[in-house]
Chain A
Amino acid sequence: MNELFGFSTLDLSRFQFATTSIFHYFFVPFTVGFALIIAVLQTLAYRSHDPKLENLTRFFGHLFFINFAVGVVTGIVQEFQFGMNWQGFSNFVGNIFGVPLALEVLMAFFLESTFLGLWWFGKDRLPAWASLASIWIVALGTTVSAFWIILANAWMQHPVGYALRNGRAVMTDAWAIVTNPKALEWFAHLWSGGLTVAAFFVLAVSAYHLRRKHNVPAFRVSFKVALLTALIGSLGVVAAGHVQGQSAVRDQPMKYAAFSALWDTPTGSQMPESLVALPSNGARANRFEVTVPYVGSFLAFNNFSGKAKGLNDLQREYAARYGPGNYLPWVWPVYWAFRVMVGLGGLMLLVSAYYTWRWRRGRLDDPGRLYPLLLVMPLAPHLANFSGWVATEMGRQPWIVQGLLRTADAVSGLTPQTVLVSLAAFWVVYLTLIGLDVFLLTRTARAGMHGPEVETPSVPAPHYLPEGAAP
């Protein structure tokens, strides 16, 4: 195959897909959780008619708006790149995979972009109830959007409701596709993850201002709302993650074995779990590992005697089933990404539990000694999401559609030069976007609310003529 600096079109296309998806995913879960938090804040403001809560909503709304813009524009790339870089994939699954994408646009994308515009620019032109309804519609849209995308991804990992016809997958049971059990588990996991991303951000911003005694009554409210969201989110992430791990043992045993760096099926009466390991694909074993007995069985089966299959056995099975070839994912990144994700999930749960405990003890206004940690915590859910995607997507290689289509057969017939140029361009643009987003978010977050009118004069405010004025 044609190569450039040792990279084939396949390598570069995979790298580009990872780049564009992961960058996009810095913004998406943020939007999902943040829209909900703002909708709650605005509901509180609406019910209490309290101007300080209205200001608070506006303030966080501005931060939301900054982030939303980047989320929208990076989302467009997602819709086009399946055809651009993955022609084989599009031809093979368009009948099925294209549908949830189209439904996402029809049911969610229009809704979000239209009603966010109405909410943001129409703040003085809409009645209060319509403004409140708009932000709830945005929140609903982001959730529906996430659902369809997860459904599409879940089908690639666990194809259901299809038949193969003329070398293509066609839909035979739409209901089975919509109720794909994988999709429901993952949606719970990702949606909770979205809550944590926004919650720890709002927590950090609120703690920052509480510490400096800015608008204390208002930021107490956002701190509480965010804290509850963080608690619910981290609990949801951990619980759904546990369920997902157990279903992976059944449906994607190779991926599960890679998560645990389990090369050989355990021979004893139970399965240990490795704490740390240095997996090596070359040696088909771990160069070093520390394991704890019984934990593996418990995590995978909720009992103390279950055993999952090891990578080497699965490789033999797959070769017998699908023909000769290497069916092992690249284990060490999968193993470590999985551990980083789980570790950060645990940290998020601990931090939110600790602050909930402080709240019960009446020490809400004082972020305490963990204050510096609280300020960097917004990074934790982002990193956890990043590692989660790396683990789940690398863990299912070499398949792009589990058991049906290999990634190598899905890639477009482009030259590596073409892909390298676009990859470089996307990196430049995306790094700039991240930089700008972080810069504007911190700048706006630190500025806080100035006085009674938090109106941000920098917001593009078109000056419309009054109602009924002669045009």
Chain B
Amino acid sequence: MTVDLPTVWFGLTALTFTIYFFLDGFDFGVGILQPFLARSEAQRRALIGTVGPFWAANEVWVILAASVIFAAFPLWYGALLTALYPLFALILLALIGRGVAFEYRSEVDHVRWRLFWDATSFVTNLLPAFLWGVIMSNMVRGLPLGVGGRFEGHVLGAFDLFTVLGGLATLSLFVLHGATYLLLRLHRDGTLYLRARRAALLWGAAATVLVLAFVYVGFVRSGVFNSLGLSQWLFPAAAALNLGLVWLALTLRRDGLAFASTGLTVVFSTATIFLSLYPNVLPSTLGETYTLTVRNSASEPTTLRLLSWVSLIFLPLIIGYQAWNYYVFRQRVQERDQAIPGGGSGD
């Protein structure tokens, strides 16, 4: 049996993005929710503590996604990043601000200093959560690409009803995902936990409406979701079904189920995007001949084989130690009124 390497690598690209959105999705959500949920310094710290040991490693998945596209589909990489240049520049600046906000916020014990970083954190979590949706919908919709993947469009062309709805859908989905993540991570007796639960109910409603609207617009605009495999509706319907499941889980007070449902929604939504793309990677709106496909934009077999062997060894290892990281910090986070020198220990 021969393995179609470009298709395998298209699948792995999709997988990398899926893991990235799943993991960094709740980081974004927690960052966006923080000003709404936390009223005191102790609460703010507790919220940051839920993602503190994890965000950096979660974020590496997007670096992997970029480098996988670069190595396995160089033409896709160049065309996508050039065409959506301003969006990626904004995401990069936001990811810089967010990382620094996480790490530097507590370095100086001063109210204005912390306020500055809280504001930075809010904006820089909000921006990528929205922009990733815009980027993914642009990928599905297609871009005005000419010969050799050269971008022939305008900066503002990235925004229309479909792509903005895509952005709002990811934004709301990530906030919801962050809220259900907090249900797993916060001490159940705290007020924060209750607020997170209310936020999950509220954002669950918002996310459902926005995701359904996005899917509807996608189907109405012919050709956007049409190349989906088995049944066009399968993956979007599964995503929507999972959103329904969140409410059930919240009513039953099943934290694990709630988080699993929002996680699966992220998974199914990302799968919808990539399955509807295949066998293209970046359709051109200027004509079929310019469309980048899995086949015409992939690297040579030598490169793909090498990448396959290395990934076969390292991906399970990475998933293993990242899982262990979550296991080490598995305890729920509790709010404390003040920082205790030497705190953080299991007392």
Instruction: Verify B79–A87 contact, CB threshold 8 A.
Output: yes
Q: Which residues of A contact B64 (CB under 8 A)?
A: 102, 105-106, 109-110
* A460 at interface, CB cutoff 8 A: yes
Cα A462 to Cα B99 with chains together (Å): 17
Task: Please give me the residue from chain B that is nearest to A116 by CB atom.
Answer: B56
Q: Which of A85-138 contact B (CB under 8 A)?
A: 85-88, 90-91, 93-99, 101-107, 109-111, 113-118, 120-126
Instruction: Verify A466–B93 contact, CB threshold 8 A.
Output: no
* B187 at interface, CB cutoff 8 A: yes
* A286 at interface, CB cutoff 8 A: no
Q: Which residues of B contact A421 (CB under 8 A)?
A: 86
Instruction: Verify A458–B59 contact, CB threshold 8 A.
Output: no
Given known contacts A77-B96, A467-B346, A106 and B56 CB-to-CB distance under 8 angstroms: no
Cα A203 to Cα B342 with chains together (Å): 27
Instruction: Verify A80–B341 contact, CB threshold 8 A.
Output: no
B184 to chain A, nearest CB (A): 9
Q: How many A-B residue pairs have CB under 8 A?
A: 288
Cα A109 to Cα B66 with chains together (Å): 13
Query: CB-CB contacts of B86-106 with A at 8 A, as 1s and 0s?
Result: 101100110111111011111
Query: CB-CB contacts of A418-448 with B at 8 A, as 1s and 0s?
Result: 1001100110010001001000100110000
Cα A77 to Cα B64 with chains together (Å): 13
Q: Which residues of A contact B46 (CB under 8 A)?
A: 462-463
Instruction: Verify A110–B318 contact, CB threshold 8 A.
Output: yes
* A465 at interface, CB cutoff 8 A: yes
Instruction: Verify B74–A460 contact, CB threshold 8 A.
Output: no
Q: Which of the candidate stretches B162-170, B221-229, B305-313 sits at the interface with the other chain?
A: B305-313
Task: Please give me the residue from chain A that is nearest to B85 by CB atom.
Answer: A84
Given known contacts A110-B60, A462-B52, A122 and B93 CB-to-CB distance under 8 angstroms: no
Query: CB within 8 A of B344: which of A74, A121, A418, A458?
Result: A121
Instruction: Verify A91–B74 contact, CB threshold 8 A.
Output: yes
Instruction: Verify B339–A429 contact, CB threshold 8 A.
Output: no
Instruction: Verify A440–B107 contact, CB threshold 8 A.
Output: yes
Instruction: Verify B74–A463 contact, CB threshold 8 A.
Output: no
Q: Which residues of B contact A289 (CB under 8 A)?
A: none
Q: Which residues of B contact A93 (CB under 8 A)?
A: 74
A16 to chain B, nearest CB (A): 10
Instruction: Verify A436–B53 contact, CB threshold 8 A.
Output: no
* B77 at interface, CB cutoff 8 A: yes
Instruction: Verify A101–B67 contact, CB threshold 8 A.
Output: yes
Q: Which of A54-76 contact B (CB under 8 A)?
A: 65-66, 69-70, 72-76
Cα A110 to Cα B324 with chains together (Å): 13
Query: CB-CB contacts of B290-303 with A at 8 A, as 1s and 0s?
Result: 00000000011011
Q: Helix, strand, loop or mixed for chain A's interface?
A: helix
Task: Please give me the residue from chain B that is nearest to A103 by CB atom.
Answer: B310
Query: CB within 8 A of A94: which of B71, B151, B318?
Result: B71
* A322 at interface, CB cutoff 8 A: no
A414 to chain B, nearest CB (A): 6
* A83 at interface, CB cutoff 8 A: yes
Q: Which residues of B contact A458 (CB under 8 A)?
A: 106-109, 339
Instruction: Verify B306–A461 contact, CB threshold 8 A.
Output: no
Instruction: Verify A98–B78 contact, CB threshold 8 A.
Output: no
Cα A154 to Cα B3 with chains together (Å): 32
Instruction: Verify A83–B59 contact, CB threshold 8 A.
Output: no
* A186 at interface, CB cutoff 8 A: no
Cα A363 to Cα B128 with chains together (Å): 55
Instruction: Verify A462–B45 contact, CB threshold 8 A.
Output: yes
Given known contacts A83-B80, A124-B345, A464 and B332 CB-to-CB distance under 8 angstroms: yes
* B75 at interface, CB cutoff 8 A: yes
Instruction: Verify B346–A124 contact, CB threshold 8 A.
Output: yes
B302 to chain A, nearest CB (A): 5
B34 to chain A, nearest CB (A): 13
Instruction: Verify B299–A98 contact, CB threshold 8 A.
Output: yes
Q: Which of the candidate stretches A167-175, A252-260, A307-315, A340-348 sits at the interface with the other chain?
A: A167-175
B70 to chain A, nearest CB (A): 4
Cα A232 to Cα B75 with chains together (Å): 44
Q: Which residues of A contact B62 (CB under 8 A)?
A: 76
Instruction: Verify B95–A101 contact, CB threshold 8 A.
Output: no
Q: Which residues of B contact A98 (CB under 8 A)?
A: 67, 70-72, 74, 77, 299, 303
Q: Which residues of B contact A120 (CB under 8 A)?
A: 53
Instruction: Verify A413–B71 contact, CB threshold 8 A.
Output: no
Query: CB within 8 A of B328: which of A65, A72, A122?
Result: A122
Q: Which residues of A contact B109 (CB under 8 A)?
A: 457-458
Given known contacts A102-B71, A461-B343, A471 and B77 CB-to-CB distance under 8 angstroms: no
Cα A462 to Cα B100 with chains together (Å): 18
* B203 at interface, CB cutoff 8 A: no
Instruction: Verify A117–B343 contact, CB threshold 8 A.
Output: no
A444 to chain B, nearest CB (A): 8
Instruction: Verify A109–B63 contact, CB threshold 8 A.
Output: yes
Q: Which residues of B contact A462 (CB under 8 A)?
A: 45-46, 48-50, 52-53, 329, 333, 344
Task: Please give me the residue from chain B that is nearest to A101 by CB atom.
Answer: B67
Given known contacts A90-B77, A124-B345, A461-B343, A467 and B300 CB-to-CB distance under 8 angstroms: no
Q: Which residues of A contact B331 (CB under 8 A)?
A: 464-467, 469
Cα A174 to Cα B151 with chains together (Å): 32
Query: CB within 8 A of B71: which of A99, A116, A459?
Result: A99
A131 to chain B, nearest CB (A): 11
* A82 at interface, CB cutoff 8 A: yes
Q: Which of A352-407 contact B (CB under 8 A)?
A: none
Residue among B187, B302, B332 with the highest chain A CB neighbour number at 10 A: B302
* A50 at interface, CB cutoff 8 A: no
Instruction: Verify A101–B45 contact, CB threshold 8 A.
Output: no
Instruction: Verify B100–A73 contact, CB threshold 8 A.
Output: yes
Q: Which residues of A contact B303 (CB under 8 A)?
A: 95-96, 98-99, 170-171
A309 to chain B, nearest CB (A): 35
Given known contacts A76-B63, A117-B56, A422 and B96 CB-to-CB distance under 8 angstroms: no
Instruction: Verify A109–B70 contact, CB threshold 8 A.
Output: no
Instruction: Verify B332–A471 contact, CB threshold 8 A.
Output: yes
Cα A84 to Cα B307 with chains together (Å): 23
Given known contacts A80-B81, A94-B71, A464-B344, A106 and B311 CB-to-CB distance under 8 angstroms: yes
* A3 at interface, CB cutoff 8 A: no
Q: Which residues of A contact B335 (CB under 8 A)?
A: 463
Cα A114 to Cα B328 with chains together (Å): 12
B147 to chain A, nearest CB (A): 11
Instruction: Verify B325–A118 contact, CB threshold 8 A.
Output: yes
Q: Which residues of A contact B82 (CB under 8 A)?
A: 83-85, 87, 412-414
Cα A96 to Cα B72 with chains together (Å): 10
Given known contacts A66-B103, A90-B74, A117-B57, A455 and B346 CB-to-CB distance under 8 angstroms: no
* A79 at interface, CB cutoff 8 A: yes
Q: Which residues of B contact A122 (CB under 8 A)?
A: 53, 328-329
Q: Which residues of A contact B98 (CB under 8 A)?
A: 73
Query: CB-CB contacts of B16-57 with A at 8 A, as 1s and 0s?
Result: 000000000000000000000000000001101110111011
* A165 at interface, CB cutoff 8 A: yes
Sample 19 A-B pairs with CB under 8 A, ordered by A number: A69-B102, A79-B70, A84-B88, A85-B82, A94-B73, A101-B71, A106-B64, A106-B315, A110-B321, A111-B321, A115-B321, A170-B303, A433-B96, A440-B104, A455-B343, A458-B339, A460-B102, A462-B53, A466-B346
Smallest CB-CB A-B distances: 6 pairs: A94-B74, A462-B49, A98-B71, A83-B81, A461-B344, A69-B103
- Having A91-B74, A118-B325, one finds 4 other A-B pairs with CB under 8 Å, namely A83-B78, A84-B88, A418-B86, A433-B96
